[in-house]
Amino acid sequence: MAWKETHVMNERMKFIVEWQAGGHSLAEHCRCYGVSRKTGYKYIERYLAEGPSGLEDRSRAPHHHPNAIAEKVELAILELQAKHPTWGAKKLKGWLETNRRQDEWPARSTITEMLDRHGLVRRRRLHRRGLSQHWPLTMADLANQVWGIDFKGWFLTMDGRRCDPLTVSDLHSRYILRLQAVEKPDGRHVWPVLEAAFREVGLPEVIRSDNGPPFASTAAGGLGWLSVQLIKAGVKPERIKPANPQQNGCHERMHRTLKEDTANPPAANRRAQQRRFDDFRRVFNEERPHEALGLDTPAKHYQPSPRIYSGRLREPDYAADFEVRRVRSNGEIKWRGNCIFLSEALIGEPVGIVETEESSLHTIHYGPVLLGYLDRGGTFRQSLHNQSRKTKAFRKNV
Protein backbone atom coordinates (compact mmCIF):
# COMPACT_ATOMS: atom_id res chain seq x y z
CA MET A 1 0.00 0.00 0.00
CA ALA A 2 1.48 3.37 -1.10
CA TRP A 3 1.92 6.26 1.32
CA LYS A 4 -0.71 8.96 1.07
CA GLU A 5 0.59 12.36 -0.09
CA THR A 6 -0.78 15.56 1.34
CA HIS A 7 -0.21 19.28 0.82
CA VAL A 8 -0.03 22.17 3.29
CA MET A 9 -2.90 24.04 1.57
CA ASN A 10 -5.04 20.89 1.60
CA GLU A 11 -4.44 20.44 5.32
CA ARG A 12 -5.29 24.06 6.07
CA MET A 13 -8.50 23.84 4.01
CA LYS A 14 -9.43 20.59 5.78
CA PHE A 15 -8.79 22.32 9.11
CA ILE A 16 -11.25 25.12 8.16
CA VAL A 17 -13.95 22.75 6.84
CA GLU A 18 -13.91 20.54 9.96
CA TRP A 19 -13.93 23.63 12.23
CA GLN A 20 -16.97 24.98 10.41
CA ALA A 21 -18.71 21.60 10.83
CA GLY A 22 -18.32 21.99 14.62
CA GLY A 23 -18.47 19.12 17.11
CA HIS A 24 -15.53 20.09 19.35
CA SER A 25 -13.77 23.15 20.70
CA LEU A 26 -11.14 25.09 18.78
CA ALA A 27 -8.45 24.12 21.31
CA GLU A 28 -9.21 20.41 20.79
CA HIS A 29 -9.38 20.94 17.04
CA CYS A 30 -5.95 22.61 17.01
CA ARG A 31 -4.47 19.74 19.08
CA CYS A 32 -5.72 17.25 16.48
CA TYR A 33 -3.83 19.12 13.75
CA GLY A 34 -0.74 19.79 15.83
CA VAL A 35 -0.92 23.61 15.69
CA SER A 36 -1.23 26.28 18.35
CA ARG A 37 -4.50 28.11 19.04
CA LYS A 38 -2.79 31.30 17.88
CA THR A 39 -2.07 29.73 14.47
CA GLY A 40 -5.61 28.33 14.31
CA TYR A 41 -7.19 31.71 14.98
CA LYS A 42 -4.84 33.32 12.39
CA TYR A 43 -5.95 31.08 9.52
CA ILE A 44 -9.63 31.25 10.52
CA GLU A 45 -9.50 35.06 10.47
CA ARG A 46 -7.67 35.10 7.12
CA TYR A 47 -10.16 32.64 5.62
CA LEU A 48 -13.16 34.65 6.77
CA ALA A 49 -11.59 37.85 5.38
CA GLU A 50 -10.06 36.61 2.09
CA GLY A 51 -11.44 33.17 1.38
CA PRO A 52 -9.14 30.25 0.34
CA SER A 53 -6.37 32.64 -0.83
CA GLY A 54 -5.97 33.77 2.78
CA LEU A 55 -4.56 30.32 3.63
CA GLU A 56 -1.47 30.78 1.35
CA ASP A 57 1.95 31.54 2.80
CA ARG A 58 2.89 35.20 2.93
CA SER A 59 6.23 36.97 2.61
CA ARG A 60 7.92 37.79 5.91
CA ALA A 61 9.70 40.80 4.43
CA PRO A 62 8.92 44.02 6.30
CA HIS A 63 6.52 46.43 4.66
CA HIS A 64 8.84 49.35 5.33
CA HIS A 65 12.68 49.38 5.03
CA PRO A 66 14.28 52.10 7.15
CA ASN A 67 17.55 51.78 5.16
CA ALA A 68 15.96 51.65 1.71
CA ILE A 69 17.27 54.02 -0.99
CA ALA A 70 15.16 57.15 -1.24
CA GLU A 71 13.19 57.47 -4.46
CA LYS A 72 15.03 60.68 -5.40
CA VAL A 73 18.43 59.06 -4.91
CA GLU A 74 17.49 55.93 -6.82
CA LEU A 75 16.17 58.00 -9.71
CA ALA A 76 19.41 60.00 -9.91
CA ILE A 77 21.50 56.80 -10.01
CA LEU A 78 19.31 55.25 -12.69
CA GLU A 79 19.44 58.40 -14.82
CA LEU A 80 23.24 58.48 -14.65
CA GLN A 81 23.45 54.76 -15.46
CA ALA A 82 21.15 55.23 -18.45
CA LYS A 83 23.51 57.94 -19.72
CA HIS A 84 26.56 55.69 -19.20
CA PRO A 85 25.37 52.07 -19.53
CA THR A 86 28.89 50.61 -19.17
CA TRP A 87 29.54 52.23 -15.77
CA GLY A 88 29.29 50.00 -12.73
CA ALA A 89 28.36 50.89 -9.16
CA LYS A 90 31.87 52.06 -8.25
CA LYS A 91 32.08 54.57 -11.10
CA LEU A 92 28.51 55.77 -10.58
CA LYS A 93 29.14 56.38 -6.89
CA GLY A 94 32.48 58.09 -7.59
CA TRP A 95 30.97 60.45 -10.17
CA LEU A 96 28.00 61.35 -7.96
CA GLU A 97 30.17 62.02 -4.91
CA THR A 98 32.43 64.27 -6.99
CA ASN A 99 29.78 66.19 -8.88
CA ARG A 100 26.83 66.18 -6.44
CA ARG A 101 28.40 66.55 -3.02
CA GLN A 102 25.31 68.08 -1.47
CA ASP A 103 23.60 64.67 -1.41
CA GLU A 104 24.48 61.51 0.50
CA TRP A 105 24.91 58.45 -1.69
CA PRO A 106 24.49 54.80 -0.65
CA ALA A 107 27.29 52.26 -0.42
CA ARG A 108 28.62 50.65 -3.57
CA SER A 109 27.12 47.27 -2.60
CA THR A 110 23.70 48.90 -2.16
CA ILE A 111 23.94 50.52 -5.59
CA THR A 112 24.92 47.16 -7.10
CA GLU A 113 21.89 45.47 -5.52
CA MET A 114 19.64 48.23 -6.83
CA LEU A 115 21.06 47.92 -10.37
CA ASP A 116 20.68 44.15 -10.19
CA ARG A 117 17.06 44.54 -9.10
CA HIS A 118 16.44 46.61 -12.24
CA GLY A 119 18.26 44.08 -14.45
CA LEU A 120 21.16 46.45 -15.18
CA VAL A 121 24.07 44.31 -13.96
CA ARG A 122 25.95 42.56 -16.75
CA ARG A 123 27.63 39.37 -15.63
CA ARG A 124 30.79 38.54 -17.49
CA ARG A 125 32.25 35.12 -17.99
CA LEU A 126 35.37 34.61 -15.90
CA HIS A 127 38.52 33.44 -17.65
CA ARG A 128 41.53 31.79 -16.09
CA ARG A 129 44.63 33.94 -16.28
CA GLY A 130 47.78 32.57 -17.82
CA LEU A 131 51.16 32.69 -16.14
CA SER A 132 52.76 36.12 -16.09
CA GLN A 133 55.51 36.70 -18.66
CA HIS A 134 58.70 38.64 -17.98
CA TRP A 135 59.54 41.20 -20.64
CA PRO A 136 61.71 44.30 -20.20
CA LEU A 137 59.14 47.07 -20.62
CA THR A 138 59.43 50.70 -19.52
CA MET A 139 57.50 51.53 -16.34
CA ALA A 140 54.93 54.31 -16.75
CA ASP A 141 55.60 56.09 -13.44
CA LEU A 142 54.92 59.60 -14.74
CA ALA A 143 52.79 61.18 -17.43
CA ASN A 144 54.34 60.98 -20.92
CA GLN A 145 56.87 58.32 -19.99
CA VAL A 146 54.95 55.71 -22.01
CA TRP A 147 52.18 56.15 -24.53
CA GLY A 148 50.20 53.22 -25.85
CA ILE A 149 49.15 53.04 -29.48
CA ASP A 150 46.97 50.55 -31.32
CA PHE A 151 44.12 50.12 -33.75
CA LYS A 152 40.77 49.19 -32.27
CA GLY A 153 39.60 46.38 -34.54
CA TRP A 154 37.97 47.69 -37.72
CA PHE A 155 34.22 47.48 -38.27
CA LEU A 156 31.65 48.66 -40.82
CA THR A 157 29.47 51.68 -40.23
CA MET A 158 25.81 51.43 -41.17
CA ASP A 159 26.53 52.70 -44.70
CA GLY A 160 28.90 49.75 -45.28
CA ARG A 161 32.17 51.71 -45.10
CA ARG A 162 35.15 50.42 -43.16
CA CYS A 163 36.16 52.30 -40.01
CA ASP A 164 39.69 51.95 -38.55
CA PRO A 165 39.92 53.78 -35.18
CA LEU A 166 43.47 54.68 -34.14
CA THR A 167 43.93 55.16 -30.38
CA VAL A 168 46.79 56.80 -28.48
CA SER A 169 46.77 57.06 -24.68
CA ASP A 170 49.10 57.95 -21.84
CA LEU A 171 49.60 54.75 -19.84
CA HIS A 172 50.27 56.53 -16.54
CA SER A 173 47.20 58.78 -16.42
CA ARG A 174 45.01 56.70 -18.85
CA TYR A 175 44.36 59.96 -20.70
CA ILE A 176 43.25 59.38 -24.31
CA LEU A 177 45.37 61.66 -26.49
CA ARG A 178 43.95 60.65 -29.85
CA LEU A 179 40.91 58.64 -30.98
CA GLN A 180 40.57 59.04 -34.70
CA ALA A 181 39.30 57.02 -37.66
CA VAL A 182 41.99 57.00 -40.38
CA GLU A 183 41.67 56.37 -44.11
CA LYS A 184 44.06 53.40 -44.06
CA PRO A 185 45.77 51.59 -41.15
CA ASP A 186 49.30 52.25 -42.42
CA GLY A 187 52.25 54.34 -41.30
CA ARG A 188 51.61 57.16 -43.77
CA HIS A 189 48.18 57.79 -42.23
CA VAL A 190 49.23 57.15 -38.61
CA TRP A 191 52.16 59.55 -38.61
CA PRO A 192 50.10 62.78 -39.14
CA VAL A 193 47.91 61.80 -36.17
CA LEU A 194 50.97 61.24 -33.97
CA GLU A 195 52.67 64.41 -35.18
CA ALA A 196 49.55 66.44 -34.32
CA ALA A 197 49.62 64.95 -30.80
CA PHE A 198 53.34 65.80 -30.46
CA ARG A 199 52.68 69.40 -31.44
CA GLU A 200 49.79 69.69 -28.99
CA VAL A 201 51.20 68.04 -25.83
CA GLY A 202 54.89 67.38 -26.52
CA LEU A 203 56.92 64.19 -26.89
CA PRO A 204 56.72 61.01 -24.80
CA GLU A 205 59.81 59.00 -23.98
CA VAL A 206 58.40 55.70 -25.29
CA ILE A 207 55.51 54.60 -27.49
CA ARG A 208 54.40 51.02 -26.85
CA SER A 209 52.61 48.93 -29.48
CA ASP A 210 51.98 45.35 -30.50
CA ASN A 211 54.05 43.58 -33.16
CA GLY A 212 51.72 44.13 -36.09
CA PRO A 213 52.00 46.63 -38.93
CA PRO A 214 52.37 49.55 -39.21
CA PHE A 215 54.00 49.68 -35.77
CA ALA A 216 56.50 46.87 -36.37
CA SER A 217 57.90 44.68 -39.12
CA THR A 218 59.94 41.51 -39.55
CA ALA A 219 63.02 43.51 -40.56
CA ALA A 220 66.06 44.05 -38.32
CA GLY A 221 65.04 45.37 -34.92
CA GLY A 222 61.39 45.07 -35.96
CA LEU A 223 61.69 48.56 -37.46
CA GLY A 224 59.36 49.87 -40.14
CA TRP A 225 58.94 53.30 -41.69
CA LEU A 226 56.82 54.56 -38.76
CA SER A 227 59.36 53.35 -36.17
CA VAL A 228 62.16 55.19 -37.97
CA GLN A 229 60.08 58.39 -37.94
CA LEU A 230 59.53 58.04 -34.19
CA ILE A 231 63.23 57.56 -33.47
CA LYS A 232 64.13 60.61 -35.58
CA ALA A 233 61.51 62.61 -33.63
CA GLY A 234 63.18 61.57 -30.35
CA VAL A 235 60.78 58.82 -29.23
CA LYS A 236 61.76 55.21 -28.60
CA PRO A 237 59.40 52.59 -30.08
CA GLU A 238 58.71 49.68 -27.73
CA ARG A 239 56.82 46.47 -28.49
CA ILE A 240 55.08 44.02 -26.20
CA LYS A 241 55.92 40.33 -26.28
CA PRO A 242 54.05 38.56 -29.10
CA ALA A 243 50.64 37.15 -28.07
CA ASN A 244 50.75 39.02 -24.73
CA PRO A 245 48.22 41.88 -25.04
CA GLN A 246 48.07 42.11 -21.21
CA GLN A 247 51.43 43.90 -21.38
CA ASN A 248 49.50 46.81 -22.84
CA GLY A 249 46.56 45.98 -20.58
CA CYS A 250 45.15 49.39 -19.66
CA HIS A 251 45.08 50.42 -23.33
CA GLU A 252 43.33 47.16 -24.30
CA ARG A 253 40.82 47.61 -21.47
CA MET A 254 39.99 51.05 -22.81
CA HIS A 255 39.27 49.44 -26.18
CA ARG A 256 36.62 47.20 -24.63
CA THR A 257 34.80 50.21 -23.17
CA LEU A 258 35.23 52.07 -26.47
CA LYS A 259 33.53 49.26 -28.38
CA GLU A 260 30.63 49.01 -25.93
CA ASP A 261 30.00 52.76 -25.86
CA THR A 262 30.53 53.76 -29.51
CA ALA A 263 30.27 50.80 -31.89
CA ASN A 264 27.52 48.59 -30.55
CA PRO A 265 25.73 49.28 -32.85
CA PRO A 266 27.89 51.44 -35.17
CA ALA A 267 26.88 54.90 -36.35
CA ALA A 268 25.26 55.75 -39.67
CA ASN A 269 28.52 56.82 -41.35
CA ARG A 270 32.14 57.57 -40.53
CA ARG A 271 31.52 61.24 -39.78
CA ALA A 272 28.81 60.34 -37.27
CA GLN A 273 31.10 57.65 -35.85
CA GLN A 274 33.88 60.20 -35.36
CA ARG A 275 31.45 62.40 -33.40
CA ARG A 276 30.82 59.41 -31.13
CA PHE A 277 34.57 58.94 -30.73
CA ASP A 278 35.04 62.62 -29.81
CA ASP A 279 32.26 62.47 -27.23
CA PHE A 280 33.61 59.21 -25.77
CA ARG A 281 37.09 60.72 -25.45
CA ARG A 282 35.74 63.78 -23.61
CA VAL A 283 33.68 61.69 -21.17
CA PHE A 284 36.49 59.15 -20.64
CA ASN A 285 39.06 61.86 -19.91
CA GLU A 286 36.97 64.36 -17.95
CA GLU A 287 33.96 62.60 -16.39
CA ARG A 288 34.40 58.85 -16.08
CA PRO A 289 36.00 57.85 -12.73
CA HIS A 290 38.92 55.43 -13.13
CA GLU A 291 39.57 52.74 -10.53
CA ALA A 292 43.36 52.72 -11.06
CA LEU A 293 43.38 56.47 -10.31
CA GLY A 294 41.43 56.24 -7.05
CA LEU A 295 38.21 57.08 -8.92
CA ASP A 296 39.73 60.31 -10.24
CA THR A 297 39.42 61.21 -13.90
CA PRO A 298 42.44 60.89 -16.25
CA ALA A 299 42.38 64.65 -16.87
CA LYS A 300 43.33 65.26 -13.21
CA HIS A 301 46.51 63.18 -13.62
CA TYR A 302 47.71 64.22 -17.07
CA GLN A 303 49.85 67.18 -17.96
CA PRO A 304 51.67 68.05 -21.21
CA SER A 305 55.22 66.83 -21.74
CA PRO A 306 58.14 69.20 -21.08
CA ARG A 307 59.79 67.77 -24.22
CA ILE A 308 58.70 70.17 -26.96
CA TYR A 309 58.39 68.85 -30.52
CA SER A 310 60.07 71.20 -32.99
CA GLY A 311 58.83 69.44 -36.10
CA ARG A 312 62.39 68.55 -37.17
CA LEU A 313 63.39 64.92 -37.59
CA ARG A 314 67.03 64.33 -36.66
CA GLU A 315 69.31 61.41 -37.36
CA PRO A 316 70.45 59.59 -34.21
CA ASP A 317 73.87 60.38 -32.75
CA TYR A 318 76.37 57.74 -31.68
CA ALA A 319 79.18 57.69 -29.13
CA ALA A 320 82.80 57.93 -30.18
CA ASP A 321 83.44 54.17 -29.89
CA PHE A 322 80.76 53.39 -32.53
CA GLU A 323 81.61 52.84 -36.18
CA VAL A 324 78.91 54.47 -38.29
CA ARG A 325 77.68 53.05 -41.59
CA ARG A 326 74.98 54.57 -43.79
CA VAL A 327 72.42 52.14 -45.18
CA ARG A 328 72.56 51.89 -48.98
CA SER A 329 69.69 52.20 -51.43
CA ASN A 330 69.14 48.43 -51.34
CA GLY A 331 68.87 48.29 -47.51
CA GLU A 332 72.43 46.95 -47.05
CA ILE A 333 75.61 48.12 -45.33
CA LYS A 334 79.19 47.16 -46.05
CA TRP A 335 81.08 45.57 -43.16
CA ARG A 336 84.59 44.18 -43.50
CA GLY A 337 84.07 43.25 -47.12
CA ASN A 338 80.61 41.76 -46.63
CA CYS A 339 77.26 43.18 -47.73
CA ILE A 340 74.73 42.84 -44.89
CA PHE A 341 71.03 43.45 -45.45
CA LEU A 342 69.25 45.28 -42.63
CA SER A 343 66.00 46.90 -43.78
CA GLU A 344 64.63 48.99 -46.61
CA ALA A 345 63.05 51.20 -43.93
CA LEU A 346 66.60 52.31 -43.01
CA ILE A 347 67.68 53.36 -46.50
CA GLY A 348 69.83 56.48 -46.17
CA GLU A 349 69.96 56.24 -42.37
CA PRO A 350 73.16 55.94 -40.26
CA VAL A 351 73.55 52.84 -38.09
CA GLY A 352 76.13 52.39 -35.34
CA ILE A 353 78.32 49.32 -34.79
CA VAL A 354 80.17 48.73 -31.54
CA GLU A 355 82.32 45.90 -30.23
CA THR A 356 81.01 43.95 -27.24
CA GLU A 357 83.02 42.61 -24.32
CA GLU A 358 83.43 39.47 -26.40
CA SER A 359 85.90 40.57 -29.09
CA SER A 360 84.34 38.14 -31.58
CA LEU A 361 80.98 39.90 -31.49
CA HIS A 362 79.68 43.33 -32.50
CA THR A 363 76.22 44.82 -31.98
CA ILE A 364 74.52 47.03 -34.53
CA HIS A 365 72.06 49.77 -33.54
CA TYR A 366 69.77 52.36 -35.01
CA GLY A 367 69.53 55.01 -32.31
CA PRO A 368 68.27 53.31 -29.11
CA VAL A 369 67.13 50.15 -30.93
CA LEU A 370 69.32 47.05 -31.15
CA LEU A 371 69.14 45.67 -34.69
CA GLY A 372 71.23 42.53 -34.17
CA TYR A 373 74.68 40.98 -33.90
CA LEU A 374 77.71 40.62 -36.18
CA ASP A 375 80.16 37.78 -35.59
CA ARG A 376 83.81 37.76 -36.64
CA GLY A 377 82.94 36.25 -40.00
CA GLY A 378 80.53 39.06 -40.80
CA THR A 379 77.36 37.00 -40.31
CA PHE A 380 74.40 39.10 -39.15
CA ARG A 381 71.81 37.72 -36.72
CA GLN A 382 68.86 39.54 -35.20
CA SER A 383 69.05 37.36 -32.06
CA LEU A 384 71.70 35.18 -30.48
CA HIS A 385 68.98 32.66 -29.63
CA ASN A 386 68.61 31.83 -33.32
CA GLN A 387 72.18 30.60 -33.69
CA SER A 388 72.79 26.97 -34.45
CA ARG A 389 74.69 24.72 -32.05
CA LYS A 390 77.62 24.69 -34.46
CA THR A 391 77.86 28.50 -34.44
CA LYS A 392 77.59 28.65 -30.63
CA ALA A 393 80.36 26.09 -30.30
CA PHE A 394 82.51 28.14 -32.69
CA ARG A 395 81.95 31.30 -30.64
CA LYS A 396 82.85 29.41 -27.46
CA ASN A 397 86.17 28.20 -28.87
CA VAL A 398 87.44 31.47 -30.45
> What pLDDT band is residue 395 in, cutting at 50, 70 and 90?
very low
Rg (CA), the chain: 35
Position 393 scores a pLDDT of 40
Q: Are 179 and 265 in the same domain?
A: yes
Q: Are 241 and 195 in the same domain?
A: yes
H helices of 146-301, in order, are: 187-201, 225-233, 249-262, 270-286
Higher pLDDT, 260 or 86: 260
Q: How far is CA 7 from the centre of its chain?
A: 55
Q: What percent of the chain has pLDDT over 90?
A: 49
Q: Are 353 and 260 in the same domain?
A: no
Q: Are 327 and 387 in the same domain?
A: yes
What is the amino acid identity at position 286?
E
Higher pLDDT, 46 or 103: 46
Position 122 scores a pLDDT of 74
Range of the domain at 256: 146-300
- 54-68, 150-164, 260-274: range with lowest mean pLDDT: 54-68
In a domain, 314, yes or no: no
Which DSSP string corresponds to 68-121?
SPPHHHHHHHHHHHHHSTT--HHHHHHHHHHH-TTS----HHHHHHHHHHTT-P
For the chain, give the mean pLDDT: 86
Answer yes or no: is pLDDT of 23 > 80: no
Instruction: Give tens-digit pLDDT for 303-330.
Output: 999 999 999 999 999 999 999 999 999 9
Instruction: Give tens-digit pLDDT for 346-392.
Output: 999 999 999 988 767 899 999 999 999 998 878 888 877 654 443 44
In a domain, 313, yes or no: no
Rounded Cα distance, 336 and 348, in Å: 19
CA distances from 162 to 54, 81, 270, 281 (A): 64, 30, 8, 21
Q: Are 39 and 90 in the same domain?
A: no
In a domain, 128, yes or no: no
Q: Are 177 and 296 in the same domain?
A: yes
> What pLDDT band is residue 63 in, cutting at 50, 70 and 90?
low
For the chain, report the end-to-end CA distance as a whole number of angstroms. 98
Answer yes or no: is pLDDT of 43 > 60: yes
SS3 371: strand
Q: b/e string for 323-340 if b means 16 or more Cβ within 10 A? A: eebebeeebbbebeeeeb
Position 385 scores a pLDDT of 62
In a domain, 310, yes or no: no
In a domain, 42, yes or no: yes
Instruction: Give tens-digit pLDDT for 143-193.
Output: 999 999 999 989 999 999 999 999 999 999 999 999 999 999 999 999 999
Q: Are 47 and 80 in the same domain?
A: no
Instruction: Give tens-digit pLDDT for 268-310.
Output: 999 999 999 999 999 999 999 998 899 999 999 999 999 999 9
E-only strand ranges, the chain: 146-151, 155-156, 162-170, 176-182, 206-209, 236-239, 323-326, 332-335, 338-341, 350-355, 361-366, 369-375, 380-381
In a domain, 139, yes or no: no
Position 5 scores a pLDDT of 59
Q: Are 157 and 295 in the same domain?
A: yes
Higher pLDDT, 130 or 229: 229
Q: Are 372 and 344 in the same domain?
A: yes
Which of 251, 267, 300 is at the close of a domain?
Answer: 300
Answer yes or no: is pLDDT of 76 > 90: no
Q: What is the mean pLDDT of residues 217-233?
A: 93
Instruction: Give tens-digit pLDDT for 94-129.
Output: 888 888 887 788 888 888 888 888 888 877 665 444
In a domain, 28, yes or no: yes
Instruction: Please count the structural domains in the chain.
Output: 4
In a domain, 240, yes or no: yes
Q: Taking the complete model, does pTM exceed 0.85, yes or no?
A: no
Position 1 scores a pLDDT of 46
Q: Are 24 and 169 in the same domain?
A: no
Position 372 scores a pLDDT of 92
Q: Are 159 and 289 in the same domain?
A: yes
Q: Are 274 and 183 in the same domain?
A: yes
Position 79 scores a pLDDT of 87
Answer yes or no: is pLDDT of 56 > 80: yes
Q: CATH code at 196? A: 3.30.420.10
